[in-house]
Amino acid sequence: MMRLLTTGALVFLSFVVVMQAGYKVGDVAEDFTLKNVDGSMMSLADMDEAKGFIVIFSCNHCPYVVKYEDRMIELHNQFADMGYPVVAINSNDPEKVPEDSFDNMVARAKDKGFPFPYLFDATQQVAKDFGATRTPHVFLLQRSEDSKLKVAYIGAIDDSPKTAADVKDKYVAMAIGAIENNGTPDPEFTKAIGCTIKWRE
Amino acid sequence: MKKPNISLCFCLLFVSLALFSAESRAGEKVELVDLKTFMPMLQPQNDTLYIVNFWATWCSPCVKELPHFEKIGKEYAGRKVKVILVSLDFADELQQRVQPFVEKRKLQSDVMLLDPGRGGEWIDQVDSRWSGAIPATLFINGSTRLRAFHEKSFTYEELSALVQTYTGEQQ
């Protein structure tokens, strides 16, 4: 009984922690320094001319990510020049998914010719700070007047993971369109099926 | 010749029927369902505990915990507990991937493939606590109005303890 209570309390506590962690739309995102697939260390501050960032929690192995890889490249090609580059982050524990190791990230970035940085969140702290739970999971950041990066949109890239041809609403593109016109994204939050981020035990 | 024992006959018939249904489950086709068919299943009105597990063949933590759900299904066979495995594999991979997977592993639980179509609003309708990551499991009992949601993978012990709690069998 005691054990059950303790387990229950632990489950409850971890649930509370999960519920509270992470950014909501409107929150200020903290910068981070992570290793890019080119071997350099990168922070968002390195691109201080950017008007914002399309931060995508991603990985190598997830079939939903694979379905979206070309669309991630398209997003970057369409919006980087406008001031919103894609920044992809892999936070998965490679002990759990060897396919998501840094070496494999380097290989994938090369194979696909990623035009955007693909960063390795080895400590998983960035995913925790953001409150990312799945891949792909997008956080659109917008630079405010005080130069802070505010979360403008959280969710999916668009409404059709399976086939790009069936997309009706391009959520991220719509959100950038809205903030570029001094509006607020609608929707500013969406959900989608994805792979869990593989947390270290 | 002795008069046949009627109750024994019935007993044998029952056992063979039970065996037959258990055997035949493995050969069943995985049903493809859309939201219109699926969502009402989450509103049962009876006193059965439904354990609805969202998984996919490509999701390694999901595949790893499937045997635990199968084991629970067996342990609670004949009682008011029903395991439903809802695959979120892509619908066009049903025949090539999901059906062979279910047959190879001889899954005895009900398995269906949900094609939710466009958009993610349905995820909130399943449970507002669900971010969309799998594995995820919903426990429902219409009579007791139980609706518990867990976006995590389970060990057998964790799952078993939860089922005991939700069926009111905890020590």
Comparing A113-127, B11-25, B72-86, B138-152, the range with the smallest average pLDDT is B11-25
Give yes or no for B170 touching A (CB within 8 A). Answer: yes
Q: For residue A122, what are its two tokens? A: 């080895």
Interface contact flag, B132 A191, Cβ < 8 Å:
yes
Chain B partners within 8 Å of A168 (Cβ): 118
Rounded Cα–Cα distance for residues B138 and B122 (Å): 14
Of A1 and A54, more confident: A54
pLDDT band at B29 (very low <50, low <70, confident <90, very high): confident
Angle subtended at Cα A27 by Cα A191 and Cα A167, rounded to the nearest 5 degrees: 30
Contact B70, B83 (CB under 8 A): yes
Q: To the nearest whole angstrom, how far is the Cα of B139 from the nearest Cα of chain A? A: 15
Residue B14 CA from chain centroid, whole number:
23
Distance separating alpha carbons of residues A102 and A90, to the nearest angstrom? 9
Q: How far apart (Å, rounded) are the C-alpha atoms in residues A120 and A60? A: 11
pLDDT at B65 over 60: yes
Structural domains present in chain B: 30-166 (3.40.30.10)
Which of A193, A197, A200, A201 to mutate: most B Cβ within 10 Å?
A193
The pLDDT tens digits for A97-140 are 999 999 999 999 999 999 999 999 999 999 999 999 999 999 99
Q: Is the peptide bond before A136 cis (omega within 30 degrees of 0)?
A: yes
Residue B101, token pair as written in the block: 């997977």
Q: How many CA atoms lie within 13 A of A138 on its CB side?
A: 35
Are the C-beta atoms of residues A159 and A167 closer than 8 Å to each other?
A: yes
- What is A24-196's CATH number? 3.40.30.10
B169 pLDDT tier (thresholds 50, 70, 90): confident
Nearest CA in chain A to B92: A162
Strands B110-114 vs B31-33: parallel, antiparallel or unpaired = parallel
Enclosing H/E stretch for A28 = strand A28-29
d(CA A157, CA A70): 12
- A184 CA to chain B: closest CA distance, Å? 20
CB contact, 8 Å: A6 with chain B? Answer: no
Mean pLDDT along residues B45-69: 96
Within 133-172 of A, beta carbons closer than 8 Å to B belong to: 133-134, 155-156, 159-160, 162, 166, 168-169
Complex ipTM > 0.95: no
| Per-residue model confidence as pLDDT tens digits over A1-48 | 556 555 555 555 454 444 457 999 999 999 999 999 999 999 999 999
Tokens encoding A147: 């130069």
d(CA B91, CA B121) in angstroms, rounded, equals 19
Taking the domains of chain A in order of start, what are their residue ranges?
Answer: 24-196
